[in-house]
Structure 1
Amino acid sequence: MTDVSMAPTAFTRYTAAPSATSKASKRSSKTKRKMERKVGSGRKGTVDEEEYLLKSVTKLVARWAATQREVKKLLPHLLHFSEQHRSSGDALQEDMRSFEKELADAIDEIWTKPVTADNPTQEDSWASRMLEKEKEKMIDPLMRVPKPVIETHDWGIQLLHAKQ
């Protein structure tokens, strides 16, 4: 065969074609993004569901803080208008306080460690040591997602409650 009849190639006799195993082990950026979307979706029944829910509660706390600032700006303006506006402001303030309490209670309930009963009489066998190693590998989502902190400054107006 002559060189003209052969298909052109980037390889010489001194270079080796990449093997199928090395090519398969590399992930493309498209595949990586797809995997990240799967983890971030929080689909029910997946291993990432609990972590997704914890992150969602953390985002809720951040949105709560932004809403709290908006209500703090709005309440003084409701005092200047009619009695109906004043009562709406009072109802808004009361709803915000009750939601703040429910949110704080839910966060405390979610981020409390469950009580586990360890079995101290279990014998030290190879199987028990391997089970402990497997438990160490599985990181609790509560350890990965930090507990959110609700800002505790006073955002309400005391004038709304003075009339009662």
Structure 2
Amino acid sequence: MKAILPNGEEIDPTYHGAGYHGTSLDPEYVFKHGFTARGSDRRLLEHVLNNSQSAFRGTTASANVCSENAQGAVYWAEIDGWVYEIVSACWNVEKELEGRVPTPSGYGNSPHKGELEAAIPGEVRPHQIRMASKVIGKHGRLRASEWHFNKSFRKP
């Protein structure tokens, strides 16, 4: 799969690695079924703008990030939700959109600069999910708790 930049150029993934995704789905389901694709729109900017038909799923470089802005995997999952470590092809959203987003005065960067988001293909198979952690609230912040490993995980 290739992502599409605002100018129509198709690009390969930036890297292959691990990222963290937060959701309300529990590991009993996710370790068995993975995550289904949401849509087929491969435009990276539209993904960042929360397009419901995006072919991508958002991940962050760390399970616990950016508490000031309530951004990151634990904040997407909320208390009692789950954070998953997923190993996949990744597009570094800020890097790939830098200087490529049309604005009235020329070109700018990702509209959500500072989120540290990597976009991955929306469909995630069970063997790509390394582990899961329940989200808890502690000292007024959300964080990942004990990690549970997925027996179906296979190193790429």
TM-score normalised by structure 1 residue count: 0.19
Structure with higher Rg: it is 1
**Going by fraction, where is strand more abundant, 1 or 2?**
2
Bigger helix share: 1
Structure-2-length-normalised TM-score: 0.20
